[in-house]
Amino acid sequence: MNQGALTKKDRFRIEGAVRRVDWVLDGRVPMAKRRQIRSELRSNLIDASQQVGAANAIRQLGDLRALAASYLELYRGRFDFQ
């Protein structure tokens, strides 16, 4: 994972996308699973952004709300605190 090739702007974009997905999951998905999702999503975006750029990597994910909803459908916890 070579983050040296990414600019601060690219890292900011990636972190923003990760946080938007995580925001939907907050209070609905257990913390350990949210941490795993954030880590995996961030890692995949960094790898993809080194190939096609951060903006295109995020665009290729599609609608971030739909992505978050799919994670929510899979990993919804016992309680919904939102």
Average pLDDT score over residue span 11-36: 94
Rg of the chain on CA atoms, in Å: 13
Classify residue 80 by burial, with Cβ atoms within 10 Å: 0-12, 13-18, 19+: exposed
Classify residue 58 by burial, with Cβ atoms within 10 Å: 0-12, 13-18, 19+: buried
CB distance 41 to 13 below 8 Å? no
Q: What is the pLDDT of residues 26-54, one digit of tens each?
A: 888 989 999 999 999 999 999 999 999 99
CB distance 31 to 78 below 8 Å? no
| The residue to which tokens 């890292």 are assigned | 11
| The residue to which tokens 């750029």 are assigned | 53
- Coil, helix or strand at residue 4: helix
Residue 2 reports pLDDT greater than 60: no
Residue 24 reports pLDDT greater than 60: yes
